[in-house]
Structure 1
Protein backbone atom coordinates (compact mmCIF):
# COMPACT_ATOMS: atom_id res chain seq x y z
CA UNK A 1 0.00 0.00 0.00
CA UNK A 2 1.33 3.39 -0.95
CA UNK A 3 -0.11 6.22 1.09
CA UNK A 4 -0.06 9.66 -0.43
CA UNK A 5 -0.67 12.46 2.05
CA UNK A 6 -2.79 15.47 1.20
CA UNK A 7 -1.03 18.75 0.46
CA UNK A 8 -0.04 20.68 3.55
CA UNK A 9 -3.00 22.45 5.13
CA UNK A 10 -5.63 20.45 3.26
CA UNK A 11 -7.53 17.97 5.41
CA UNK A 12 -10.26 18.16 2.77
CA UNK A 13 -8.32 16.21 0.14
CA UNK A 14 -7.76 12.63 1.25
CA UNK A 15 -5.72 10.44 -1.10
CA UNK A 16 -4.72 6.81 -0.89
CA UNK A 17 -3.13 4.55 -3.52
CA UNK A 18 -2.70 0.81 -3.95
CA UNK A 19 -0.79 -1.19 -6.54
CA UNK A 20 -3.18 -3.89 -7.78
CA UNK A 21 -2.01 -6.81 -9.90
CA UNK A 22 -4.70 -6.44 -12.57
CA UNK A 23 -5.06 -4.50 -15.82
CA UNK A 24 -6.45 -0.96 -15.63
CA UNK A 25 -9.31 -1.87 -18.00
CA UNK A 26 -10.60 -4.56 -15.62
CA UNK A 27 -10.40 -2.25 -12.60
CA UNK A 28 -12.06 0.58 -14.52
CA UNK A 29 -15.00 -1.67 -15.45
CA UNK A 30 -15.71 -2.22 -11.75
CA UNK A 31 -15.52 1.51 -10.98
CA UNK A 32 -17.75 2.37 -13.96
CA UNK A 33 -20.43 -0.13 -12.87
CA UNK A 34 -22.68 1.38 -10.17
CA UNK A 35 -24.09 -2.05 -9.25
CA UNK A 36 -20.60 -3.00 -7.97
CA UNK A 37 -20.01 0.06 -5.79
CA UNK A 38 -21.63 -1.56 -2.74
CA UNK A 39 -19.44 -4.64 -3.27
CA UNK A 40 -16.17 -2.68 -3.05
CA UNK A 41 -17.25 0.03 -0.58
CA UNK A 42 -15.02 0.03 2.49
CA UNK A 43 -17.09 2.55 4.47
CA UNK A 44 -20.13 0.34 4.93
CA UNK A 45 -22.43 3.15 3.79
CA UNK A 46 -23.16 2.19 0.17
CA UNK A 47 -26.14 -0.19 0.15
CA UNK A 48 -26.77 -0.62 -3.54
CA UNK A 49 -27.60 1.03 -6.78
CA UNK A 50 -30.83 2.98 -7.10
CA UNK A 51 -33.03 1.67 -9.93
CA UNK A 52 -33.15 3.69 -13.13
CA UNK A 53 -29.50 4.66 -13.49
CA UNK A 54 -27.17 3.53 -16.27
CA UNK A 55 -25.59 0.08 -16.08
CA UNK A 56 -22.22 1.68 -16.96
CA UNK A 57 -21.08 5.20 -16.20
CA UNK A 58 -19.89 7.75 -18.75
CA UNK A 59 -19.15 11.49 -18.81
CA UNK A 60 -22.08 13.41 -17.32
CA UNK A 61 -24.04 10.27 -16.34
CA UNK A 62 -26.36 10.58 -13.36
CA UNK A 63 -26.78 7.64 -11.04
CA UNK A 64 -28.31 7.08 -7.66
CA UNK A 65 -27.16 5.01 -4.73
CA UNK A 66 -28.98 3.69 -1.70
CA UNK A 67 -27.01 4.67 1.38
CA UNK A 68 -26.99 4.19 5.13
CA UNK A 69 -25.15 6.54 7.44
CA UNK A 70 -27.43 6.40 10.45
CA UNK A 71 -30.78 6.41 8.65
CA UNK A 72 -31.18 5.02 5.13
CA UNK A 73 -31.30 7.56 2.31
CA UNK A 74 -30.75 7.92 -1.43
CA UNK A 75 -28.22 10.12 -3.11
CA UNK A 76 -28.01 11.26 -6.74
CA UNK A 77 -24.50 11.51 -8.21
CA UNK A 78 -23.17 12.88 -11.47
CA UNK A 79 -19.98 11.81 -13.24
CA UNK A 80 -17.82 14.94 -13.51
CA UNK A 81 -14.53 13.47 -14.78
CA UNK A 82 -14.23 10.60 -17.21
CA UNK A 83 -11.31 9.24 -19.20
CA UNK A 84 -11.92 5.66 -20.31
CA UNK A 85 -9.65 3.25 -18.46
CA UNK A 86 -7.80 6.04 -16.62
CA UNK A 87 -9.99 8.37 -14.54
CA UNK A 88 -13.52 8.54 -13.20
CA UNK A 89 -15.02 10.90 -10.63
CA UNK A 90 -18.50 11.79 -9.41
CA UNK A 91 -20.10 14.15 -6.96
CA UNK A 92 -23.49 14.87 -5.47
CA UNK A 93 -25.24 17.97 -4.12
CA UNK A 94 -22.65 18.69 -1.43
CA UNK A 95 -19.99 19.13 -4.14
CA UNK A 96 -17.34 16.79 -2.75
CA UNK A 97 -15.81 14.52 -5.37
CA UNK A 98 -14.97 10.81 -5.25
CA UNK A 99 -12.16 10.29 -7.76
CA UNK A 100 -10.27 7.24 -9.03
CA UNK A 101 -7.12 7.56 -11.12
CA UNK A 102 -5.58 4.45 -12.71
CA UNK A 103 -1.94 4.28 -13.83
CA UNK A 104 -0.85 1.09 -15.63
CA UNK A 105 2.43 -0.30 -14.28
CA UNK A 106 3.35 -3.37 -16.32
CA UNK A 107 0.97 -6.16 -15.34
CA UNK A 108 -0.34 -4.08 -12.43
CA UNK A 109 -2.19 -0.81 -11.97
CA UNK A 110 -1.61 1.91 -9.41
CA UNK A 111 -5.11 2.87 -8.26
CA UNK A 112 -5.49 6.19 -6.49
CA UNK A 113 -8.72 7.06 -4.74
CA UNK A 114 -9.43 10.60 -3.59
CA UNK A 115 -12.13 12.19 -1.51
CA UNK A 116 -11.93 15.85 -2.49
CA UNK A 117 -14.03 18.13 -0.33
CA UNK A 118 -12.13 21.32 -1.15
CA UNK A 119 -15.12 22.68 -3.16
CA UNK A 120 -17.57 22.12 -0.27
CA UNK A 121 -18.75 25.42 1.25
CA UNK A 122 -19.51 23.93 4.70
CA UNK A 123 -16.17 22.26 5.43
CA UNK A 124 -16.52 22.77 9.17
CA UNK A 125 -19.57 20.49 9.21
CA UNK A 126 -17.55 17.74 7.50
CA UNK A 127 -14.85 18.02 10.14
CA UNK A 128 -17.25 18.17 13.10
CA UNK A 129 -19.21 15.13 11.89
CA UNK A 130 -16.00 13.09 11.57
CA UNK A 131 -15.82 12.63 7.80
CA UNK A 132 -12.24 13.88 7.61
CA UNK A 133 -11.19 11.39 10.33
CA UNK A 134 -13.07 8.34 8.95
CA UNK A 135 -12.34 8.62 5.24
CA UNK A 136 -8.65 7.60 5.20
CA UNK A 137 -9.44 4.18 6.69
CA UNK A 138 -12.57 3.76 4.56
CA UNK A 139 -10.64 4.54 1.38
CA UNK A 140 -7.92 2.06 2.31
CA UNK A 141 -10.57 -0.63 2.91
CA UNK A 142 -12.22 0.19 -0.42
CA UNK A 143 -8.93 -0.27 -2.27
CA UNK A 144 -8.40 -3.64 -0.57
CA UNK A 145 -11.94 -4.76 -1.48
CA UNK A 146 -11.43 -3.55 -5.05
CA UNK A 147 -8.24 -5.60 -5.27
CA UNK A 148 -9.98 -8.67 -3.84
CA UNK A 149 -12.82 -8.29 -6.32
CA UNK A 150 -10.71 -7.88 -9.46
CA UNK A 151 -8.11 -10.50 -8.56
CA UNK A 152 -10.50 -13.01 -6.98
CA UNK A 153 -8.12 -13.32 -3.99
CA UNK A 154 -8.79 -12.25 -0.41
Structure 2
Protein backbone atom coordinates (compact mmCIF):
# COMPACT_ATOMS: atom_id res chain seq x y z
CA UNK A 1 0.00 0.00 0.00
CA UNK A 2 1.43 3.36 -1.03
CA UNK A 3 1.50 6.56 0.95
CA UNK A 4 -1.45 7.90 -1.00
CA UNK A 5 -3.63 4.84 -0.56
CA UNK A 6 -6.01 3.82 2.20
CA UNK A 7 -7.09 0.16 2.24
CA UNK A 8 -9.05 -2.09 4.51
CA UNK A 9 -9.69 -5.82 4.15
CA UNK A 10 -12.42 -8.11 5.46
CA UNK A 11 -13.50 -11.69 4.88
CA UNK A 12 -17.10 -11.83 3.66
CA UNK A 13 -19.28 -14.97 3.71
CA UNK A 14 -20.13 -14.77 0.01
CA UNK A 15 -18.56 -15.90 -3.23
CA UNK A 16 -16.48 -13.52 -5.31
CA UNK A 17 -19.14 -13.82 -8.02
CA UNK A 18 -21.92 -12.68 -5.66
CA UNK A 19 -19.87 -9.75 -4.43
CA UNK A 20 -18.75 -8.72 -7.90
CA UNK A 21 -22.35 -8.63 -9.15
CA UNK A 22 -23.16 -6.21 -6.35
CA UNK A 23 -20.13 -4.01 -7.06
CA UNK A 24 -20.69 -4.03 -10.83
CA UNK A 25 -24.25 -2.69 -10.41
CA UNK A 26 -24.05 1.06 -9.73
CA UNK A 27 -27.69 1.12 -8.58
CA UNK A 28 -26.61 -1.06 -5.60
CA UNK A 29 -23.77 1.20 -4.44
CA UNK A 30 -25.96 3.17 -1.98
CA UNK A 31 -26.79 -0.12 -0.21
CA UNK A 32 -23.19 -0.76 0.76
CA UNK A 33 -21.80 2.76 1.11
CA UNK A 34 -20.56 3.26 4.66
CA UNK A 35 -19.63 6.91 4.18
CA UNK A 36 -23.23 8.07 3.92
CA UNK A 37 -22.45 10.12 0.82
CA UNK A 38 -23.71 7.90 -2.03
CA UNK A 39 -27.41 8.55 -2.70
CA UNK A 40 -28.25 6.92 -6.04
CA UNK A 41 -26.86 6.10 -9.45
CA UNK A 42 -27.43 8.61 -12.21
CA UNK A 43 -30.14 8.07 -14.80
CA UNK A 44 -27.58 7.28 -17.51
CA UNK A 45 -25.68 4.66 -15.49
CA UNK A 46 -25.44 1.25 -17.15
CA UNK A 47 -27.10 -1.72 -15.46
CA UNK A 48 -23.70 -3.39 -15.18
CA UNK A 49 -20.25 -1.85 -15.19
CA UNK A 50 -17.46 -2.89 -17.54
CA UNK A 51 -14.04 -1.54 -18.46
CA UNK A 52 -14.41 2.02 -19.75
CA UNK A 53 -18.02 2.37 -18.59
CA UNK A 54 -19.01 5.82 -17.40
CA UNK A 55 -21.56 6.24 -14.65
CA UNK A 56 -22.84 9.12 -12.60
CA UNK A 57 -23.73 9.08 -8.93
CA UNK A 58 -25.95 11.38 -6.90
CA UNK A 59 -23.97 12.32 -3.80
CA UNK A 60 -24.36 14.33 -0.61
CA UNK A 61 -21.56 15.69 1.52
CA UNK A 62 -23.08 18.72 3.14
CA UNK A 63 -24.66 19.79 -0.16
CA UNK A 64 -25.95 17.46 -2.83
CA UNK A 65 -23.93 17.06 -6.01
CA UNK A 66 -23.36 14.71 -8.93
CA UNK A 67 -20.11 13.02 -9.83
CA UNK A 68 -19.05 11.20 -12.96
CA UNK A 69 -16.93 8.03 -12.75
CA UNK A 70 -15.12 5.90 -15.29
CA UNK A 71 -14.26 2.22 -14.78
CA UNK A 72 -10.47 2.03 -15.22
CA UNK A 73 -9.71 -1.50 -13.96
CA UNK A 74 -11.86 -4.55 -14.53
CA UNK A 75 -11.27 -8.25 -14.13
CA UNK A 76 -14.49 -10.26 -13.93
CA UNK A 77 -15.19 -11.48 -10.37
CA UNK A 78 -11.78 -10.28 -9.12
CA UNK A 79 -11.11 -6.55 -9.59
CA UNK A 80 -13.05 -3.39 -10.32
CA UNK A 81 -11.96 0.23 -9.94
CA UNK A 82 -13.43 3.53 -11.00
CA UNK A 83 -11.87 6.97 -11.26
CA UNK A 84 -13.43 10.29 -10.30
CA UNK A 85 -12.92 13.42 -12.37
CA UNK A 86 -10.04 14.51 -10.11
CA UNK A 87 -8.15 11.30 -10.82
CA UNK A 88 -8.48 9.40 -7.55
CA UNK A 89 -9.73 5.84 -7.65
CA UNK A 90 -11.90 3.49 -5.67
CA UNK A 91 -10.67 -0.09 -6.09
CA UNK A 92 -12.16 -3.40 -5.01
CA UNK A 93 -10.05 -6.55 -5.03
CA UNK A 94 -11.76 -9.90 -4.43
CA UNK A 95 -9.80 -13.02 -3.48
CA UNK A 96 -11.83 -16.26 -3.25
CA UNK A 97 -11.02 -18.42 -0.24
CA UNK A 98 -11.26 -22.20 0.01
CA UNK A 99 -14.27 -22.11 2.36
CA UNK A 100 -16.52 -20.27 -0.12
CA UNK A 101 -15.86 -16.92 1.50
CA UNK A 102 -14.03 -14.01 -0.13
CA UNK A 103 -11.31 -11.70 1.09
CA UNK A 104 -12.41 -8.21 0.06
CA UNK A 105 -10.03 -5.26 -0.05
CA UNK A 106 -11.39 -1.79 -0.73
CA UNK A 107 -8.85 0.94 -1.50
CA UNK A 108 -9.13 4.69 -1.80
CA UNK A 109 -6.18 5.42 -4.10
CA UNK A 110 -5.31 9.08 -4.35
CA UNK A 111 -1.83 8.48 -5.78
CA UNK A 112 -3.34 9.31 -9.18
CA UNK A 113 -5.21 12.43 -8.02
CA UNK A 114 -4.69 15.67 -9.92
CA UNK A 115 -4.81 17.72 -6.70
CA UNK A 116 -3.59 15.50 -3.84
CA UNK A 117 -3.05 18.49 -1.55
CA UNK A 118 -6.81 19.20 -1.65
CA UNK A 119 -7.57 15.61 -0.65
CA UNK A 120 -5.08 15.80 2.21
CA UNK A 121 -6.28 19.22 3.43
CA UNK A 122 -9.90 18.08 3.40
CA UNK A 123 -9.00 15.09 5.59
CA UNK A 124 -10.26 12.55 3.08
CA UNK A 125 -7.70 9.83 3.82
CA UNK A 126 -8.90 9.58 7.44
CA UNK A 127 -12.58 10.04 6.56
CA UNK A 128 -12.39 7.51 3.75
CA UNK A 129 -10.66 4.95 5.99
CA UNK A 130 -13.64 5.20 8.35
CA UNK A 131 -16.08 4.98 5.45
CA UNK A 132 -14.33 1.91 4.04
CA UNK A 133 -14.52 0.16 7.42
CA UNK A 134 -18.26 0.86 7.62
CA UNK A 135 -18.74 -0.22 4.01
CA UNK A 136 -17.06 -3.56 4.68
CA UNK A 137 -19.24 -4.00 7.79
CA UNK A 138 -22.37 -3.30 5.74
CA UNK A 139 -21.23 -5.71 3.05
CA UNK A 140 -20.61 -8.43 5.64
CA UNK A 141 -24.08 -7.78 7.08
CA UNK A 142 -25.63 -8.46 3.68
CA UNK A 143 -24.07 -11.95 3.67
CA UNK A 144 -24.19 -13.26 7.25
CA UNK A 145 -22.09 -16.41 7.64
| TM-score when normalising by structure 1 | 0.90
Q: Tell me, what secondary structure is at the counterpart of 1:57?
A: coil
Aligned pair 1:91/2:52, yes or no? no
Contiguous gaps of at least 5 residues in structure 2: none
Question: Are residues 1:128 and 2:121 paired?
Answer: yes
Indicate which of 10, 13, 34 corresponds to 1:18.
10
Aligned residue in 2 for 1:60:
52
Q: CA deviation at 1:31?
A: 0.4
Q: What is the number of residues matched between the two proteins?
A: 144
- Cα shift readout 1:95-115 (whole Å, capped 9, x = no counterpart): 000000000001110000000
CA distance in 1 between partners of 2:81 and 2:136 (Å): 15
Q: What TM-score comes out, normalization by structure 2 length?
A: 0.95
Among candidates 29, 40, 62, match of residue 48 of structure 1: 40
The Cα shift of 1:25 comes to 0.2
Name the CA distance, whole Å, in 1 between partners of 2:55 and 2:134: 23
The corresponding residue for 1:102 is: 94
Q: What is the CA RMSD across the aligned residues, in angstroms?
A: 1.2
Deviations 1:63-103 (A, max 9, x none): 11000011100011010000000000001211000000000
- TM-superposed CA distance for 1:147, in Å, is 1.6
Pairwise CA distance, 1:124: 1.4
User: In the TM superposition, what whole-angstrom CA distance separates every residue of 1:16-48 from its partner, at most 9, and x where no partner exists?
Assistant: 100111110000000000011001000000001
